[in-house]
Amino acid sequence: MGMVGTVGLVLHPQRDSKEAIDIILGWAAGRDVTVLGLPEEVGRIDCSAVAVDGQTLVERADLVVSLGGDGTMLRTMRLIAGRGTPVLGVNLGRLGFLAEIDVAELSETLSAIDHNRHTVEPRMAVRTRLGNQELMAFNDIALVRFPGDGLAAVTVTAAGNPFVNYAADAVIVATSTGSTAYSFSAGGPVVSPRVEAVLVVPAAAHSAFNRALVLPADEEVRLELLPSSGQLAVELDGRVVGRLGPGDQITVTACPGAAKVVRLGTTFYERARRKLRVDGSVEIA
């Protein structure tokens, strides 16, 4: 008997996942494996996956398969956060950092996982509290200015020590996983996901000090909006979840190993080179 008795599915809201689902269901049928899906997702596709709520899927699945891109993978990781259940990312479209395989490799990959011929890579998250809501992100939590409003004027305090005041279009607190996302576009460093670190990166900084900070995972980061700050959107993995004004503050802490991602031989450096189109510098004559 294999390791996988129940597979949970999380689908991209728009991309066509029918081919991938049919492969999963065909693989499962020959092995007496149950396939679960979220009602609002599998309900729009003619398939035999069992519709269950998110909590039931999380509790019952031995493996969760994310069908989509990096956004779907991040949503899946947030859904499964805190459990040891591995997540397999399947690309439906553009190459991503988190998704591991394409649809054509799906059946073979499921068999490899079932026979424990894979590795599992832990991924750190960051979390904060906004009002009475506890929020978690696997890429980043960002404070972003509204168009036409004032800059993000923010004091950054690390481990209880006030360190820098940024004036910028945004201040991003990112994980190593998120170092190739918003943080990267703002000039932050590329960091291997094996490094448990928190990055604090200003986007389009208007202050004299415009460098990123790299902090250890066991130091909390407090972001406080200065009196000169405009109203700021709070973004979690690219989704607006609230807003803050001058005098407000949030504290961000790290959650090491919050999710487990299936790997089958590709490395972070290979994926980063392809996605970021890293070709090296021009040779000096």
* Residues labelled as active-site residues: 70
C-alpha distances out from residue 193 to 113, 187, 219, 266, Å: 21, 18, 18, 13
Positive or negative, the CA dihedral 63, 68, 72, 73 is positive
Tokens (6 digits) for 23: 């492969």
Q: How far apart are CA 241 and CA 237, in angstroms?
A: 10
Number of neighbours of residue 167 by Cβ within 10 angstroms:
21
C-alpha closest to that of 223 among 253, 250, 183, 248? 250
Number of neighbours of residue 161 by Cβ within 10 angstroms:
9
113 φ/ψ angles, rounded to the nearest 5 degrees = -65, -40
Q: Residues 64, 6: contact at Cβ < 8 Å?
A: no
30 φ/ψ angles, rounded to the nearest 5 degrees = -80, 0
Which residue matches tokens 């790997």?
Answer: 263
Q: What angle is formed at CA 146 by the lines to CA 246 and CA 69, rounded to 5 degrees?
A: 120
